[in-house]
Amino acid sequence: MKILMLAPEPFFQPRGTPISVFFRIKALSDMGHSTDLITYPLGRDVSFKNLRIGRVPNFLGLRKIKIGPSPAKIALDAGLFLKALGRLLKTRYDVIFSHEEAAWFGAGLGRVFGIPHIYDMHSSLPQQLENFDFSRSRLLKRLFLGLERFVLRNSASVIVICEDLLEYVRAGGFGEKTLLIENFIDFSDFEEGRPEPDIVLRKKKEISPDGEKIILYAGNFEPYQGLPLLFEAFARLTCPAVLLVVGGSAAEHEAMRKIAADLGVKRRIVFVEKVPPARVPLYVSLADVLVSPRISGTNTPLKIYSFLKSGKPLVATELRTHTQILDDRIAILAPAEAGGVADGLAFALESEEALARAREAKRMADREYVYPRYLQKMGEVLKRSAKKESSPRSRK
C-alpha cells in the first residue's frame, strides 16, 4: 500500500505520540508498505525503508512545541492541511492515516478524494481541552465534539490506544470500526535498545555510590504526571533510597529542585535531562523500583508497557489511567496521595511479594506485548480499511 500519514507533532522527539508514530511507521515499513509522512517542522529525521518525510515550513520560528492544544498548533495544522492537499493533487494513495487532530481534515480529504481514512485516536480531543486547561468554553467543547463525530463517521477504521478510549468510542456508536492497538512496543524490544550489563553497573554506581536502592521516574514534567506528589511521598520514606528523575529540561529541573529542597530531599534526588528513547532502557535496567505517580488523565502511559517487561516492581497511582491494564497481581497500586504512594514505594523496596508481582508482570508482558502481535493488529487495520474502498483506482 501507498500511505499518506498526517502527524501533527514534532517528529521525531522522545515523547508520547511521536514515539507511537515512530512504531506505526516501523510496522508499516516492516510489512512492506510505503509511507509519505507529513509532520511539523521540528524534530529529527528517522530512516525506514519506503519512508519519505515532508515538513511544514517553520513560518512561526518555533523552537519548541508544547504538549497538548495550543495556538501554535492551530497555525501549523493549517500548513499541514495545505501540504497534504498538495500531495493528494499530485499522488494517488491507497490510505490516509491521520493522528490526533489531523484527522479533522484527513477524514475530509479522504472523503473528497475517495480514499479510505484511518484515524489513530490517541485521545479524545474534547477531553484534552480540560486535561491541559486550554479552554473551558462549552461552545469550543461542542465544536470539538462535532469534529470528533465527523471524523469517526468518515473513517474506515479507528485505532484506539487504551480500554478507556475503546469504551468511549463504543458508547458513541462506532465500536464496529474500532480496533485497540496499545502502544506496547518500545526500544527495549529490539537488540539495539538493550544496554550492556557493564554499562548498567557503572551507571548504577554513579547514581547511587553508597548502594542505596534506586526509584525511577521517567517522563515529562507536565502537571498531570504528579511529580510534586511523588516528591512528597519520597520525603516520607524511612528506608534508604535514591529517586532518579529522567526527563524534562534544565529549567524544569530547577523548579523541581526548589520543591525537593523545601521537602528536605534535594540531595537524595538525581535529575537527568530528557534522553533519546533508545537510552531509556538503560535507566530502567539500573532501577530497583519504577513509579508512575499520575494524578489525572485516562490514557495508559506508554512507559507502563516497558516497565512491565522489565521485571522490576512497579508502583502506580490507583487511577483509570493505570488500572485499565494494571492490577494487584502485577503492580503495586496506591491511592493518589502522598501517604499512599509512600506506602507503595516502601512495599516495593522491601517486600518479596513486590518482586513476585514483578515476575508475574514480566511473564504476562512477554506473552501479550510482543512485536508480532503488534504487526498482526496493524495488518488488521489496513485490511479493514481496504475493504471499505469502493472501487480500484490507478496510481500515478
Q: Which pLDDT tens digit goes with each residue over 324-340?
A: 999 999 999 999 999 99
Give dist(CA 235, CA 339) in Å, integer: 10
Asked whether 20 and 378 are in contact (CB, 8 A), the reply is no
Nearest CA to 20 out of 380, 362, 303, 338 is that of 303
Alpha helices, DSSP H, located in 212-278? 227-235, 250-263
What residues pair up with 268 in beta bridges, in sequence order?
A: none
Report the alpha-carbon distance of residue 184 to residue 186 in Å, rounded: 7
- In angstroms, rounded to a whole number, what is the distance separating the alpha carbons of residues 42 and 74? 15
Give the model's pLDDT for residue 70: 81
Residues 129, 141 contacting (CB under 8 angstroms): yes
Please, is 215 exposed, middle or buried when counting C-beta atoms within 10 Å of its C-beta (0-12, 13-18, 19+)? Answer: buried
Report the predicted TM-score, pTM, of the whole model to 2 decimal places.
0.85
Arithmetic mean of pLDDT over the chain: 92
**Structure confidence at residue 190 as a pLDDT band (50, 70, 90):** confident
Q: What is the end-to-end Cα distance of the chain in Å, rounded?
A: 13
Residue 393 has pLDDT above 70, yes or no: no
- Note the pLDDT of residue 129: 62
34-39 and 51-55 strand pairing: parallel
Q: What was the pLDDT predicted at 191?
A: 56
Distances (CA, A) of 24 to 28, 48, 229, 282, 364: 6, 11, 33, 23, 23
| Residue 395 scores a pLDDT above 80 | no
In tens, the pLDDT along 94-111 reads 999 999 999 999 999 999
Secondary structure E strands in the chain: 2-7, 34-39, 51-55, 95-99, 117-121, 157-160, 178-180, 213-218, 241-246, 269-272, 289-292, 314-317, 332-334
pLDDT at 215: 98
- Domain(s) labelled CATH 3.40.50.2000 in the chain stretch across 2-185+371-387, 188-368
Distances (CA, A) of 202 to 44, 197, 240, 302: 29, 9, 20, 27
Q: Give me the pLDDT at residue 91, please.
A: 97
Confidence (pLDDT) at 163: 94
Could you give the percent of the chain with pLDDT greater than 70?
94
- The span from the CA of 82 to the CA of 88, in Å, is 10
d(CA 347, CA 349): 6
Confidence of residue 392 (pLDDT cuts 50, 70, 90): very low
Task: Round to whole Å and give the CA distance between 54 and 43.
Answer: 12
The answer, yes or no, to whether residue 133 has pLDDT greater than 70, is: no
Residue 116 has pLDDT above 80, yes or no: yes
Distance CA 192, CA 203 (A): 18
CATH number of 2-185+371-387: 3.40.50.2000
Contact 349, 213 (CB under 8 A): yes
For 91, list phi and psi in degrees, rounded to 5: -130, 145
Q: For 155-177, what is the mean pLDDT? A: 95
pLDDT (0 to 100) of residue 266: 95
Least confident piece of the model among 206-220, 223-237, 273-287, 308-322: 273-287
Looking at the domain 188-368, which fold is it?
Rossmann fold (3.40.50)
Q: Is the pLDDT of residue 260 over 60?
A: yes
Instruction: Select the highest-mean-pLDDT range: 4-13, 66-75, 195-204.
Output: 4-13
How far is it, in rounded angstroms, from Cα 40 to Cα 77? Answer: 8
